Structure 1
């Protein structure tokens, strides 16, 4: 009888623990379901509907027609091309520059804390505010950059409308994006460098691997996990670019800086076509997932070699 009572008591305690565990995770589960899982599923449903929430009483099912129309839409194709151009240049630039800065900070000990803080400061500046400031800096007539080039350095031939010319508008936006995020990626790489065992570095130096040899044959191969983390973050950051072109150029001049996120926004909230906008959003999400998986697979394959 005593053993039976002990079993019942033990089972009762286990049930209480399970109940408490469920109660503790329930708020997080409700939050994730309400603000992540449900919107994702509902937008998937909406992407198969034709629905303008201003003129239509209810959605009408059209299947994959919205996806087909998106790929046939010249404006959406331009926004996709601009997004891929931005993403390619941004990804390569942010990875190379951030890795160089991280290696520099890792090896330079003097004033290290000051340089780390200086590089990281742009992260704490709201991107919308930074875009407004850079819009003023890059103005053609009253901009600080043209004033510096023309009036101070006497290089009038280099002054231009940085945000009103198609050739320079995209480059200006990329520059602002890099300024705002390089510090964060540098810190991630620096964390990866600091996780390398000092024993490995000392052994490499004993074997004669110093300078560039140490970097290429010892340090860089040991940063594979950092490549995966920073690569996926940079891909997502690049493909979801929105604030810089929205604030600085509004997609112009013409459609030279129109990106996918902007086109989705305009379709949903200026033309009110929620079904079509949902299909565009899923196309962007699939592209992001594909590039993230490619980055993960490449770095994992290198680790297995």
Structure 2
């Protein structure tokens, strides 16, 4: 425990306008003894993809002038890899320009080799991330009531899972810290695990290839929305052939029915995986997100 406290003290002392890395746990829950086989590769498209993540981390990007808002970012990759640059680091740097403290979550990727129950590992890490940020908000200059979560593709499924299943305590929580995000940003998200909507690779990787109907429903976030689900901003392209736009509609429509503040940016073209910038459309979603966050009082109007 003393070593863990020392890590935090050194981390807080070293934070600058850049990135710092913080381990999520002293002892990783729901884990098996296994070699760390994590691998990072940058492809010809310039995107760095990380695979075999078994030691979760928060990569923290601190702005020069923090305004109290924080966003935890979950890169996508089908619960198989993490597209950690264009759906993580690049987004964090842009949010820093708005005064937002950004946390890229390098969450564990489901694996029977490294986990006792692979289906809960990523959500455990999301819970731990918001627990850390909320419990140490004062040290980071963060308002504990302005902590959002953003997810891309399968990372969107993780962000939506935390937004709808935040009452499930899958980690130790002695301070009874709320796992509920104050808002969510879901970018071409996998929302549903139903046969008609799901991205089958994400479903298979998280809960296996032959899940029961009850398990499918539990992991389909459109069925878990209630009146306390946080406000959401969603982005999707109609021609997305990897993750059907029906996922975004399912989540957005239920939020609307429950009168939860929500916005949906729909592109005619753009496909899947475009990150912050849809090169096939003139107007990109980050500006609209900023305006929505201002409208919802998560950002000051002076930006």
Q: TM-score range by the shorter chain?
A: under 0.3
Which is helix-richer, 1 or 2?
1
Q: Give the TM-score taking structure 1 as reference length.
A: 0.26
Q: Give the TM-score taking structure 2 as reference length.
A: 0.26
Which is strand-richer, 1 or 2?
2
Q: Which structure carries more relative contact order (alpha carbon 8 Å, separation 6+)?
A: 1
